[in-house]
Structure 1
Amino acid sequence: MLDCSYSIDKSEEKSFALKWYFGNQSEVIYHWMPDLDFRFVNGRIQAKFDWDFYLNTTNPKVNKFRAIIIKRPTTEQSGLYICEVSTNQGTDSKSASMIIYSPPEEVDFSRKFLEKEKQLLMSYKVKRIFPLPFVVIYQSCGNKRFAQRTTLLHDTSAISNDARAESGKENVYTLENVQYISFTDIIANHLKNGCTDDDDVAYYGTIELMLTINSTDYIVEKSFDIILRK
């Protein structure tokens, strides 16, 4: 529900009008003029608008239909909303952002050992997510997971460089990223983390991807084990 509260003097009720905008006052999505018994809803929310909803207030004449109910909202409805109230005495407005979260359809995390180059190639793909997430990749000891970890990638502000908006009306993104890490750096991190070795193994450990969406409890974890021989 989108709602805004206000107080109107009795003398101003006849000229009272309310508008809801989407974006920077560029698109009127709802217009209510109670004195004319007029309500308008534009195409962005028309199919999802609840015409039957109203508020029980002390002054229903100028408050009854001030709020908007958008049924089954999608990421298309994410954005800035502005409530504007006007009378013959002037105009006032307030704004707030609404985010409709969409978890990813798919999260893929894979690796490939490049023996000739002595590198590990790591790649991830996050399909159709909103808003843009945070992605962190860790290296940890295989036998002491989470006890000590080294961050290999912390993709936050730079993540937009790896994201592309999907075509269509919905605000969704697909992210792809490829990272290389040398065997030398892997072993250095192994020692830094205080991992223990077997006699014939240089390193046995875990590479973990953690994806989160800001301001939510949503989390996806993917991992794979790696072994580098001495």
Structure 2
Amino acid sequence: MVMYDFAVRDEAVGSVSITSATQPASLYTVYFNKPDQIDRFIGPSASSQRSFINPVSDNGNSRLDESINTGSRELEVVSIEGPSVVVNGSASQLVLDCVYHLTEFDKASLVVKWYFNRQPYPVYQWIPHNKPQDFGLLKGRVNLDYVVSEDEYSKHRALAILTPTTELSGEYTCWISSFENEDYKRKDVIVYAPASEVSLSYHKPGADRVVVSCRAGRVFPAPDIAIYRSSPAADRRSVLEGARVDSRHFSELGYFNISIELEAFDFELDAETMFECVLTIPDTEYRVQEKILYLPGLAAVTAPVIQLNLHKIEEA
């Protein structure tokens, strides 16, 4: 049994009990003896409050055919629109648009907040008819004049981050609320820094073996690196196992340096072996590769440095 109080314009007139064994809890038909006095119906929580108009007569009583929401979500975040991957410093602003649906009952008390990495305090807040505010990590880094819609209850719902950089990689939460309801959605955003250089080389510590090295610098977030070998004659490509990877995070500078080194004996290799170094950043389309040809007996060789224009950018 669910107890509801209902109010009238002059005085409180009592309460009504609603029970249903067969109908969903979100839909009831309510009867009142004096509908002309009813101002609004107030359920056990603010999410059940509704206004009633034009009651209909039924067997001498007045019936209000109104769906009373006791649990369904009417205020809803539909989606967060915007890129999932951005290159460090490449965009003048990154816009994350919180697309939501709201009812007339939500408008008077609507609040839009954005959170970063599930921290307890918002980095952005907007209440309709007020100027947006930025806080914490995004203080001074949000375009507070950005308007995504001409609708008064949607115009500043989007988070417009000015010149996004790597420290702003993370999870963004759009949280909307009213006296009636609340909802949220989350979106991961990667702001990555391409490697400033990638170099591939080999040297021979002995006449019968070779050490292949690949290095990349100033990349973010933590990349993956691997060395492959292929044979032009056999037309095959395989990853070389047993390589030693060294990844170092310079947190104060906001980037990683990474290297991989592999030793192989000449008898394990083909007469012509192509070594290939591949650098990638997880969850992006960023990929850099460099190749170097190894012929047993040749002196040490260093491949040319790969420049930034060889990376690929994912547009979400």
The bucket for the TM-score relative to the shorter chain is 0.7 to 0.9
Q: Where does the alignment leave 5 or more consecutive residues of structure 1 unmatched?
A: 191-202
Q: Note the aligned Cα RMSD (angstroms).
A: 2.6
Alignment equivalent of 1:23, drawn from 117, 123, 141: 117
| Pairing 1:52–2:145 present | yes
Question: Using the alignment, how far apart are the partners of 2:234 and 2:290 within structure 1?
Answer: 13
Confirm or deny: 8 A CA contact 1:136 1:153 kept in the other structure.
no
Aligned amino acid, residue 173 of structure 2? I
Question: Using the alignment, how far apart are the partners of 1:48 and 1:42 within structure 2?
Answer: 9
SS at match of 2:101: coil
| Pairing 1:150–2:235 present | no
Question: Using the alignment, how far apart are the partners of 1:62 and 1:213 within structure 2?
Answer: 39
| Pairing 1:183–2:266 present | yes
Correspondence for 2:249: 165
Call closer, same or farther: CA 1:224–1:44 in 2, change over 3 Å: same
SS at match of 2:252: coil
SS at match of 1:76: helix
Confirm or deny: 8 A CA contact 1:212 1:220 kept in the other structure.
yes
Per-residue deviation at 1:154?
Answer: 9.5
Confirm or deny: 8 A CA contact 1:80 1:95 kept in the other structure.
yes
| Pairing 1:5–2:93 present | no
Q: Where does the alignment leave 5 or more consecutive residues of structure 2 unmatched?
A: 1-94, 298-316
Per-residue deviation at 1:115?
Answer: 0.9
| Pairing 1:87–2:178 present | yes
Per-residue deviation at 1:151?
Answer: 2.0
Per-residue deviation at 1:5?
Answer: 1.6
| Pairing 1:140–2:230 present | yes
* Deviation readout 1:76-101 (Å, 9 max, x if unpaired): 11110000011112321110101112
| Pairing 1:98–2:153 present | no
SS at match of 2:226: strand
Confirm or deny: 8 A CA contact 2:226 2:260 kept in the other structure.
no
SS at match of 1:44: helix
Structure with the bigger percentage of helix = 1
SS at match of 2:143: coil
Confirm or deny: 8 A CA contact 2:227 2:277 kept in the other structure.
yes
Call closer, same or farther: CA 1:225–1:77 in 2, change over 3 Å: same
Per-residue deviation at 1:138?
Answer: 1.9
| Pairing 1:128–2:218 present | yes
Per-residue deviation at 1:50?
Answer: 1.2
Confirm or deny: 8 A CA contact 2:211 2:261 kept in the other structure.
yes
SS at match of 1:176: strand
Question: Using the alignment, how far apart are the partners of 1:108 and 1:27 within structure 2?
Answer: 43
Confirm or deny: 8 A CA contact 1:136 1:154 kept in the other structure.
no
| Pairing 1:66–2:157 present | yes
Alignment equivalent of 1:227, drawn from 291, 295, 298: 295
TM-score (norm 2): 0.57
Call closer, same or farther: CA 1:169–1:136 in 2, change over 3 Å: closer
SS at match of 1:55: coil
Confirm or deny: 8 A CA contact 1:207 1:224 kept in the other structure.
yes
* Deviation readout 1:98-149 (Å, 9 max, x if unpaired): 1112210111222111216x432122221111233333322223xx289322
Correspondence for 2:39: none
Question: Using the alignment, how far apart are the partners of 1:10 and 1:4 within structure 2?
Answer: 18
Structure number with greater Rg is 2
Confirm or deny: 8 A CA contact 1:208 1:222 kept in the other structure.
yes
Runs of 4+ aligned structure 1 residues displaced above 4 Å come to 214-217
Per-residue deviation at 1:22?
Answer: 0.3
Question: Using the alignment, how far apart are the partners of 2:216 and 2:224 within structure 1?
Answer: 11
Aligned amino acid, residue 267 of structure 2? T
TM-score (norm 1): 0.76
